[in-house]
Structure 1
Amino acid sequence: MDSAEFPPFQEKLSSSLVQVTRTAGQLSSEDLNFHRTSSADFTESLDEQSDRILALTSAVLKAATAGSDIANPKLANEEGLEDNWRGVVDVIDSLLEKADACLDEFTGVIKKLSPSREEQPPIKRESKFPTIYDYGPSKIPKPQLQFDHKPDNSDMAPFHPLLRTKPNSTVPLKQALKKKQIDGKFTHPSPYETEIRAAKYPKATYKTSPPIDYLPFESTTATFVDTLDGVKEMLSELKAAKEIAIDLEHHDVHSYHGLVSLMQISTRNKDWVIDTLKPWREELQILNEVFTDPNILKVLHGATMDIIWLQRDLGLYVVGMFDTFHAASALGYQKRSLKFLLDKFVNFEADKRYQMADWRVRPLPSAMFDYARSDTHFLLYVYDNLRNELIAASEPNNSLIDYVLERSKNEALQRYERPVYDAEKGQGPGGWYDLLSRNSGMLSKEQFAVFKAVHKWRDEVAREVDEGWQCVFPKHMLFKISQFMPLDMGHLLRTLSPVTPLTKDRADSLLETIKEAKAAGAEGPEWRDMAPPPKYAPAMSMDVEDVDFPTAERYGTSQFWGTILDAQEKPAPLSYSLTASAEALRLSLPLPPMPSTVSEVRETLATAAPQKPSVAPNPVPAAAPSAKEEDEKKIFTVKELGGPRKRKVTPVETSDQGALAADGLDDTSNDSSSVEKERKKLRKEKKAKKAAKAEKADVTPFDYGAADSVLHAPSASAPGVKAPKKQFNPYAKALEAPSGVRNKKKEIAGKSVTFRK
């Protein structure tokens, strides 16, 4: 393009960009969510245009990054745009820099590069490490296809331990593997259960000693072990150690059950990184000679899933474990992650981006290799510091070391159990019940039936191809399908957009599953009819999509209400006509049942408290009480229920009441005139007693008539007038109050005011 062609092109490009910007601004100002709910056709059209724009954007980004060292951000959906926004900005910045350079070359500000420099290929940066968030087709060949024992995802039988020999045993392997009933079903116990419970930790675990310094991380490296001979050589060095640190790297996206991809082991003097994706991976059982030796302390951090994975994939067990996570918990640390401990004791900041990396990649990039060995390189030094703090914080009757070791033993006693899919009730690891209970919303019968059927279909496909559930389609797509229930292929593909290859190849089967489930769900159960699971079962895989957490335990007696809930009758089951809010209110305040009518209240009071005996008709007259006793023994009558609102009852003193009853002149007498006379007499006597009491106190009543005037008080400045005493002014407080806002004159529409000088 020469200089004459550039101005028209620039003008045309500027006008197009202005029009696009204006249109985008108008769309953003509209309430699109409202229009989505008002018209299904508009929703469908909007989704199609959104997918089209997203595809065009991806194509532009791919073209812009071609032949450069900038990574192409992948925009799988709208959420992907937000997640990769930093990458999009990098692409735009790169394009602007190129544009500036081209303009400088065109205007002659800088000279064009020589042909020799132009022909040089661009310097390639180290490729970004693969992450588990790549839910598309696996770019790495499945290593499990090369294993000597390939995984069988259709096997629903109880898991049989892989252990072939049992070193450091007190109970023979054959006897240890006998099935027994555990949690209501017959299964294999842990082969090292007896040894783990009886293990005695080394004496150095209970003694305070200075922490042993670690080797410099920058000047040392780990040994990568990817041969069986290398494993045996490492084993001979591990047997001479007193403490070792262990950690694992796991991958569970492109595998149904998951894969242990790396194992890191460190002693005080050396680090190893073992490749556990080799076909002979089960030969690593020879490490049980060290892993089950109680004289060698095994230090791990957060080993809940590590213990399970070691049993499932490698047939390894741990005896004599110290978990630094429980040590941090016992010491009351604010954070208990390994990253926090490394920062606290070593001042080493681990790059946790690699925690979500795809650890199946081979050869292993140097950055991932360094991250892997950093997890165990400093762990023994961290253990030394934690051990000293635990001993210092312990009390004679409360040993924190024993607490941590006991918790670590319980963790090592875990058993791997193969997850069983319950399609009907949705319970168990990976079942639909926990997923739906957290994100149920309002599902109709048909939607609930479609949700269950599609969830089962996704599980079957994942088992068949040995992929994670999210590689078929993610969780939010499962809810989207159950909400819209597409019945034609076009609607289904738009609902699943972008469609994964696994789902696209099986779209006909999925569509037929949706149709059958919707037809059967019209007469099926509702979501609220499903009973909760009887017991929590922990997940055996660290799935980034569905992670099951244990629910809180329930106590037999309420810690707030005590035993009051045990005495009340259980309420009858509520009908579905009762709203969910009313039921929630009843459950939140489980008070005893209350009577509903006044008559029930009276009957309750009558049966609860016995009636007091009535006063005898002719009591013996008592001695006249003193004035002080009279005041203390005054009685008063509470107005009866349903009586006249303006009726007044004159209080009667106890002694006088007894006298009236003796003379037959009490309230029950028919002689009303005599009673009235007696009451007048009592009032006069009471008034006379009050006057006598005032005279005795010698209190002169205030004479309001002789008091000086407050409103017309004489001025103190007048001649011959004595300044009056400071008197009480009842309006003083009112005068101190701030003045109010002046009333604004109301304007009358259409009327004007003329001002004259």
Structure 2
Amino acid sequence: MKDKVEGVQELFPELANAIRIATAIEAQDIKFYESLDKSLEASVTESSKKLISLTNKILTCLNAKTLKYDPSNIDTDYTEITNGLDSLCERVDILLDKASKPSSTNDVKYLEDSISKDQASRKSSKDMIKPQIEYNYPIDNTESNPFRPLLNQKYNSVVPFEEVHKLVPETDDNPQHHNHPYEFEINSQEYPKWILERREPIVNQPWESTTAIYVETEQQVGDMIDTLSKADVIAVDLEHHDLRTYYGLVCLMQISTRNQDYIVDTLKLRFKLQPLNKVFTDPSIVKVFHGAFMDIIWLQRDLGLYVVSLFDTFHASKLLGFPKHSLAYLLETYAKFKTSKKYQLADWRVRPLTKPLLAYARSDTHFLLYIFDQLNNMLIESGKLSQVLYDSRQVALRRFEYTKFRPNFPTPLVVSPLNDRKEPWKQLLYLYNIPRSRQPVFIALYNWRDEIAREDDESTRYVLPNQLLATITSISPTDVSSLMSCSNIRTPYLKKYATELVEIIKSTLKEGAENQDVKSLTSNGIEKKAENVDYQTVLNSDRLYSHLMDSQKQLDNEALNLLIQDSRILLHSSNVAVSYSKNNVSEESLDERGTSQVLKILAPQALVVSESENEEEEVKTPETKAEPEKEDPREVIVLNRSARSKPQPVVPEVDDQPPLDFAGADKVMLEIEPRKKPKQSRKKRSFDPYAQSNKDPHPEPKKHAKFNENRSAVFKK
């Protein structure tokens, strides 16, 4: 066994390299290179046949249909291969679980997911007819009006049915809309009292010995409602499809009681299920969902169904602090059942449904009530039940609304297909880093894609995936051949509308170029027009300029005179002469003092202006007699001396130095002379690649000290 494990470990690196090489090859246009090199084409064909042979051996072990080498049918073959490999990996996972934990997994049940030949040979979902085409009503994705609830009767109502379809007028924050039909009932009606009491969990019916009832007729719907009305709690789940429809499509509904499982074909009964509101809106019946935040939206959007007395096990798992919050974790932990992950993204429109699909759908609700009993007891013991019920009510209050009529400010209670109704492409521009020059092309293609998707009731990612949209935008091909070769992703709509897409790109680029030319000829939105200018116009403009400059100088002089005249107001609180204890100061003397103070303040600014304009102007300042400062002969540079520093008072020098000590005169010069360090022989250092100085090939540059702003540097000779 040990040798086998070591062999598998040696195989993993080789497998990883093979996957990398295959991914790199897949990113290239192999067909193009094959057309250039026939030997390459023969090598690729030989390798493909060898891979098909190895794959058939694996599929044979899984009782699946074997494949033939057919390059034209690679998509269908790839689906069969992935399904087979998924089943093989799940079987290996189960066997490894049993081998590693034999004592704890004996009671664990596994979803039967084997592939039979009948299932493998079913029609591909790409070839099936879209179910919505067979509906008897026209598909309208225009969003010309707010979403109108689909109710034609309101069961268990407190607010009458007449209030349901009243249109709420538009306000500053919200466009016009319809309120949630059961908003008052959800908020006001209480949960049944038994949910507040601890009860012994009721084990679900055996998985192997029971089957689900498939509901596809109105008679079966009526019988199911009669059974559900007698229950005090039911489990509900939905299966949804959103690739081949604009808004999405509810394909299946699973409902379970303590004794029976139901699988409802919502494609056939899309307009026949509103009587289920008799059960779904009954406050005495608890409806258990897991992660119902989107199920609630899909029910009201497609089926006209609303839920009162909701219990969401997702919020229960969060408040209880579980390490995971998925339904698969709850099934494995509390129901000892391990489901399959391969059907999470299955196409649930396929009819008839295969046994693995039916089993997977049934497992979502078959064990959910037993899990609910255990979680409810844990919430009662921890005192967190009231919070879970409140959170579940908030989920039930969510309503669907078209993007055009969503509130101006986002709220979790209103759900729309797009988050931004004004600029829905804005998020993708940042996500794919579209340059500004290409943004008009991206927006034009985005709008075209949205329009086509609405008309044909297709998802936007089916018409043109986001990655392909970004690639086309960055390249902006102007011919069909360049468009088809710009990416390996080729959708049916890309092939069908290639010419139209090229024309959109051309017209957008041309419009962008014209706008750029207009911008280059304009400034601030005003077009610059050429004018014929003669000599007299130039002369008049020069005279006007000279007049303006003279006026400006005159205004400056007047302002200076006013400042000098009013300087006494700045210096003193009154206009009268100031009286001191001995002498009186006249008003004329006060004016002269104010003038001198103002000139002292304005002198540095005048110097700065004169230096910047290289003009030699002298500023007259009051003469002050001061002795020059005694300079230190050893001083070379004086830094950080303020240009506006006030004159320091002159202090007479006092010779307070101690008398010279002639006894130690021979040592005076020794103190001044710098000490001479003995020369040390430098040893040549060997290069150490692990030294701290060699860790970074580009060491951090040293930061230089910055000069303080508004400071001067004076250099002395």
TM range (shorter): 0.5 to 0.7
Aligned residue identity for 1:466: D
Q: 1:58 to 1:255 in 2, by over 3 A?
A: farther
1:353-368 equivalent positions in 2, closer than 5 A = 353-368=342-357
Question: Residue 69 of structure 1 aligns with which residue?
Answer: 65
Deviation at 1:429, TM superposition (A): 10
1:436-455 equivalent positions in 2, closer than 5 A = 436-440=429-433, 442-445=434-437, 447-455=438-446
TM-score, with structure 2 as normaliser: 0.58
SS at match of 1:229: helix
Structure 1, unpaired ranges of 5+: 1-23, 37-41, 91-122, 395-399, 526-598, 600-642, 648-666, 681-739, 744-757
SS at match of 2:403: coil
Q: 1:345 to 1:234 in 2, by over 3 A?
A: same
Q: 1:170 to 1:61 in 2, by over 3 A?
A: farther
Do residues 336 (structure 1) and 325 (structure 2) align?
A: yes
Aligned residue identity for 1:69: K
Question: Residue 19 of structure 1 aligns with which residue?
Answer: none
Do residues 264 (structure 1) and 257 (structure 2) align?
A: no
Instruction: Report if the CA contact (8 A) 2:288-2:368 is conserved.
Output: yes
Question: Residue 376 of structure 1 aligns with which residue?
Answer: 365
Aligned residue identity for 2:482: H
Question: Residue 216 of structure 1 aligns with which residue?
Answer: 206
1:316-715 equivalent positions in 2, closer than 5 A = 316-394=305-383, 400-420=384-404, 427-428=420-421, 431-440=424-433, 442-445=434-437, 447-522=438-513, 670-674=652-656, 676-677=657-658
Aligned counterparts of 1:299 and 1:246: Cα–Cα separation in 2: 6
Question: Residue 248 of structure 1 aligns with which residue?
Answer: 238
Deviation at 1:127, TM superposition (A): 2.9
Aligned counterparts of 1:159 and 1:266: Cα–Cα separation in 2: 30
1:175-194 equivalent positions in 2, closer than 5 A = 175-180=163-168, 181=170, 183-194=173-184
CA RMSD of aligned residues (A): 4.6
SS at match of 2:238: strand
Deviation at 1:154, TM superposition (A): 2.7
Deviation at 1:70, TM superposition (A): 2.1
Aligned residue identity for 2:65: D
Aligned counterparts of 1:510 and 1:238: Cα–Cα separation in 2: 53
Instruction: Report if the CA contact (8 A) 1:247-1:264 is conserved.
Output: yes
Deviation at 1:474, TM superposition (A): 2.1
Q: 1:461 to 1:671 in 2, by over 3 A?
A: closer
Aligned residue identity for 2:235: A
Question: Residue 153 of structure 1 aligns with which residue?
Answer: 141
Question: Residue 164 of structure 1 aligns with which residue?
Answer: 152
Question: Residue 185 of structure 2 aligns with which residue?
Answer: 195
SS at match of 2:294: helix
Q: 1:235 to 1:209 in 2, by over 3 A?
A: same
Q: 1:124 to 1:510 in 2, by over 3 A?
A: same
SS at match of 2:375: helix
SS at match of 2:287: strand
Q: 1:141 to 1:402 in 2, by over 3 A?
A: same
Instruction: Report if the CA contact (8 A) 1:449-1:517 is conserved.
Output: yes
Deviation at 1:370, TM superposition (A): 0.7
Aligned counterparts of 2:73 and 2:430: Cα–Cα separation in 1: 26
Q: 1:645 to 1:198 in 2, by over 3 A?
A: farther
Instruction: Report if the CA contact (8 A) 2:215-2:263 is conserved.
Output: yes
Aligned counterparts of 2:184 and 2:166: Cα–Cα separation in 1: 13
Between 413-422 and 478-487, report the one with greater CA deviation.
Answer: 413-422
Question: Residue 303 of structure 1 aligns with which residue?
Answer: 292
User: Could you report, residue by residue, the CA deviation over 1:465-505 in whole angstroms, capped at 9, with x for unpaired residues?
Assistant: 22222322322211110111111111111125453323212
Deviation at 1:210, TM superposition (A): 1.4
Instruction: Report if the CA contact (8 A) 2:228-2:257 is conserved.
Output: yes
Aligned residue identity for 1:491: S
SS at match of 2:337: coil
Aligned counterparts of 1:195 and 1:258: Cα–Cα separation in 2: 27
Aligned counterparts of 1:379 and 1:81: Cα–Cα separation in 2: 36
Aligned counterparts of 1:493 and 1:510: Cα–Cα separation in 2: 11
Aligned residue identity for 1:70: T
Q: 1:83 to 1:480 in 2, by over 3 A?
A: farther
Q: 1:331 to 1:79 in 2, by over 3 A?
A: farther
Aligned counterparts of 1:345 and 1:87: Cα–Cα separation in 2: 28
User: Could you report, residue by residue, the CA deviation over 1:635-665 in whole angstroms, capped at 9, with x for unpaired residues?
Assistant: xxxxxxxx97999xxxxxxxxxxxxxxxxxx
Question: Residue 290 of structure 1 aligns with which residue?
Answer: 279
Aligned residue identity for 2:368: L
User: Could you report, residue by residue, the CA deviation over 1:502-542 in whole angstroms, capped at 9, with x for unpaired residues?
Assistant: 321222111111111222233669xxxxxxxxxxxxxxxxx
- Equivalenced residue count is 470
Instruction: Report if the CA contact (8 A) 1:61-1:72 is conserved.
Output: no
Deviation at 1:155, TM superposition (A): 3.8
Q: 1:296 to 1:421 in 2, by over 3 A?
A: closer
Do residues 127 (structure 1) and 119 (structure 2) align?
A: yes
Deviation at 1:43, TM superposition (A): 12
Question: Residue 543 of structure 1 aligns with which residue?
Answer: none
Instruction: Report if the CA contact (8 A) 1:449-1:520 is conserved.
Output: no
User: Could you report, residue by residue, the CA deviation over 1:250-308 in whole angstroms, capped at 9, with x for unpaired residues?
Assistant: 01111111110000001111110000001x42220000000000110011011111011
Instruction: Report if the CA contact (8 A) 1:144-1:150 is conserved.
Output: no
Aligned counterparts of 2:514 and 2:75: Cα–Cα separation in 1: 37
Structure 2, unpaired ranges of 5+: 1-16, 87-114, 407-417, 517-603, 605-633, 639-648, 662-684, 689-717
SS at match of 2:117: coil
Aligned counterparts of 2:637 and 2:467: Cα–Cα separation in 1: 70
Q: 1:524 to 1:412 in 2, by over 3 A?
A: farther
Aligned counterparts of 1:284 and 1:477: Cα–Cα separation in 2: 39
Aligned counterparts of 1:247 and 1:741: Cα–Cα separation in 2: 73
Instruction: Report if the CA contact (8 A) 1:322-1:405 is conserved.
Output: yes
TM-score, with structure 1 as normaliser: 0.55
Q: 1:264 to 1:430 in 2, by over 3 A?
A: farther
Instruction: Report if the CA contact (8 A) 2:243-2:461 is conserved.
Output: yes
Instruction: Report if the CA contact (8 A) 2:65-2:120 is conserved.
Output: no
1:228-243 equivalent positions in 2, closer than 5 A = 228-243=218-233
SS at match of 1:265: strand
Question: Residue 12 of structure 2 aligns with which residue?
Answer: none
Aligned residue identity for 1:309: W
